[in-house]
Amino acid sequence: MSIELISSVRSFSGQQQQYRHHSSTLNCSMHFSVYLPQGADSEQGHHFPVLYWLSGLTCTDANFSQKAGAQRMAAELGIVLVVPDTSPRGEDVADDPSYDLGQGAGFYVNATQDPWKQHYRMYDYIVEELPALIEGNFPVNQRRAISGHSMGGHGALVIGLRNPERYTSISAFSPICNPIACPWGEKALGAYLGAETTHWEEYDASVLVGRAINHRPILVSQGDKDEFLEQQLRPEALQMAAEVCGYPIRFEHHGGYDHSYYFIASFIEEHLRFHADFLLKNDHSDS
């Protein structure tokens, strides 16, 4: 599980870094970014909790680190930020000319269809391989939270709902809440998983919330000027499903905000504080 440091810059007395490694899950080289608060590069034996951030369509691991402005609050709270890429990449990795399928559009699923299944296993990468890599190479403990935006918000909700034992809390900005019933989701899930729509339900938060037994805290933030709100995101489906089954999801609707990183930057500190309530609830120095 060796990793190669690509870059490291000082930020709020910590380090913003980017790494490269070979992923056995995705069968290709992958990049990820990590923010380490002050003290994480020392040998004092202090271990930090981790917030995993999943980005949206067309993004890489760099977008969140450069645009969200999350480092100041992460440094203050003592939380490591880990940001993977949004899909496998490389000359041998299947792709599509459109922006919403293929490289940059992994949708955090395990593909079962050709030509995608050879590389597109982002679900397993996020749930299993990447945390093992982080916990094996950085001074972190096993307290994890997960968040994301748009396609990444979908990924955070799905992964958190399916693996409540692995995460203290879940949040999302402008998530694709009901992908089995929106154009983005229908296209991607059909390509990656095939025509049998019952398989799609395993990656739909509005379906999974009704199946959840262990309820983790969830925060969803949505802007009402989001250009994708009605056709693609469908937060009302998730809200309705949560109300029917009694899952206490905290929905926040923000007037005047769109789908961009300006929205994320405006409320990322609130999301980090939300996760800190659970990540730091007990002594987070445990290894």
Q: Is residue 258 annotated as part of the catalytic site, yes or no?
A: no
| SS3 label, residue 98 | coil
CA-CA distance, 82 to 131, in Å (whole number)? 9
Out of 259, 271, 275, 284, pick the active-site residue: 259
CA-CA distance, 207 to 125, in Å (whole number)? 22
Q: Is residue 226 annotated as part of the catalytic site, yes or no?
A: yes
CA-CA distance, 88 to 33, in Å (whole number)? 15
| SS3 label, residue 101 | coil
Q: For residues 45 and 138, is the Cβ–Cβ distance under 8 A?
A: no
Q: How far is residue 178 from each of residues 151, 217, 258, 271, measured CA to CA in Å?
A: 11, 19, 19, 22
Q: Encoding tokens for residue 145?
A: 């939270």
Out of 150, 169, 171, 206, pick the active-site residue: 150
165-169's contacts with Cβ under 8 Å and 24+ in sequence apart are 165/214, 166/127, 166/131, 167/216, 168/49, 168/143, 168/144, 168/216, 168/217, 168/275, 168/278, 168/279, 168/281, 169/145, 169/216, 169/217, 169/218, 169/219, 169/274, 169/275, 169/277, 169/278, 169/279
Out of 226, 271, 275, 284, pick the active-site residue: 226
27: amino acid identity, one letter: N
Q: Encoding tokens for residue 43?
A: 């040998």
- To which residue do tokens 């959840």 refer? 212
Could you give the residue numbers annotated as active site?
A: 150, 226, 259
